[in-house]
């Protein structure tokens, strides 16, 4: 499926479940996403971690709604509980299966977003793992000079921020020196097309989900 279409679909669905209270639809979404991820061979460990992440906020939120509100709305508590998992799994279905580069290319070619924006967001994707590595290196470098920087040390994050600022400048220089000129036409090594099936994949789920959201409890 075209990455931009997939992104739009997932954003729209997430948006819709935020404003409706259908427990069954949430559960259906969770099951579909799980199936989709399993079909695409997501590693069990990754899936486990992803399912663990929303547990604390989901439990906390549903307990609050169920027991500490005047209405004691158990149904709504369960809706919120499942909604958390639906969000996380929808997001995962998108990010784990699609490469950020493919998305950037699609945003540029199909949605006509400025290339600056497409490649800028791509760089932001790239920075996250790099940041993790940098923080580990920083800690080690500090330790070698006799300083222990804990994970909550402001010094560590101040430094990380400084490095990130420096990176953005370096990145801009790298792009320019590699021939990038803002707002000029580029060619595309890989043409990302919108097929008829892409429209189907986008519209059919949206049509199906509307009545479900409105009618199912």
Name the residues that contact another protein, by CB under 8 A: 101, 119, 122-123, 126, 130, 133-134, 136-138, 140-148, 155, 159, 162-163, 166, 169-181, 185-191
Q: Which H/E stretch holds residue 53?
A: none
d(CA 40, CA 96): 9
d(CA 17, CA 213): 8
Cα 16 to chain centroid, rounded: 17
Shortest CB 169 distance to another protein, Å: 6
Quick one: DSSP state of residue 68? Answer: S
The residue among 75 and 155 lying less far from another protein, judged by its C-beta, is: 155
Shortest CB 134 distance to another protein, Å: 8
The residue among 40 and 168 lying less far from another protein, judged by its C-beta, is: 168
Shortest CB 108 distance to another protein, Å: 10
Shortest CB 60 distance to another protein, Å: 34
Tokens of 20: 């409706």
The residue among 26 and 134 lying less far from another protein, judged by its C-beta, is: 134
The residue among 43 and 211 lying less far from another protein, judged by its C-beta, is: 43
Judged on CB neighbours under 10 Å (0-12, 13-18, 19+), 147 is exposed
Judged on CB neighbours under 10 Å (0-12, 13-18, 19+), 109 is buried
d(CA 125, CA 100): 7
Residue with tokens 């020196």, as numbered in its chain: 177
Shortest CB 38 distance to another protein, Å: 25
CB 131 within 8 A of CB 165: no
The residue among 70 and 169 lying less far from another protein, judged by its C-beta, is: 169
CB under 8 Å to 191, separation ≥6 — which residues?
A: 109
The residue among 58 and 123 lying less far from another protein, judged by its C-beta, is: 123
Cα 212 to chain centroid, rounded: 25
Shortest CB 122 distance to another protein, Å: 7
The residue among 72 and 155 lying less far from another protein, judged by its C-beta, is: 155
Shortest CB 183 distance to another protein, Å: 12
């Amino acid at each position: 499926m075209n990455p931009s279409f997939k992104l739009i679909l997932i954003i729209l669905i997430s948006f819709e479940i935020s404003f409706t209270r259908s427990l069954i639809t949430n559960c259906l979404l969770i099951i579909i996403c799980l199936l989709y991820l399993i079909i695409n061979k997501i590693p069990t460990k990754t899936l486990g971690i992803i399912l663990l992440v929303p547990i604390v906020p989901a439990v906390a939120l549903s307990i609050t709604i169920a027991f500490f509100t005047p209405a004691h709305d158990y149904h709504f508590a369960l809706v919120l509980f499942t909604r958390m998992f639906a969000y996380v799994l929808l997001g995962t279905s998108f990010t784990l299966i699609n490469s950020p580069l493919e998305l950037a290319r699609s945003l540029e070619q199909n949605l006509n977003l400025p290339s600056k924006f497409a490649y800028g967001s791509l760089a932001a994707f790239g920075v996250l793992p790099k940041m993790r590595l940098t923080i580990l290196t920083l800690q080690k470098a500090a330790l070698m000079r006799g300083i222990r920087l804990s994970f909550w040390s402001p010094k560590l994050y101040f430094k990380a921020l400084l490095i990130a600022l420096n990176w953005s400048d370096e990145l801009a220089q790298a792009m320019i020196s590699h021939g990038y000129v803002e707002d000029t036409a580029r060619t595309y090594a890989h043409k990302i097309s919108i097929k008829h099936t892409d429209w189907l994949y986008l519209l059919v789920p949206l049509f199906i989900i509307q009545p479900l959201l409105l009618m199912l409890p």
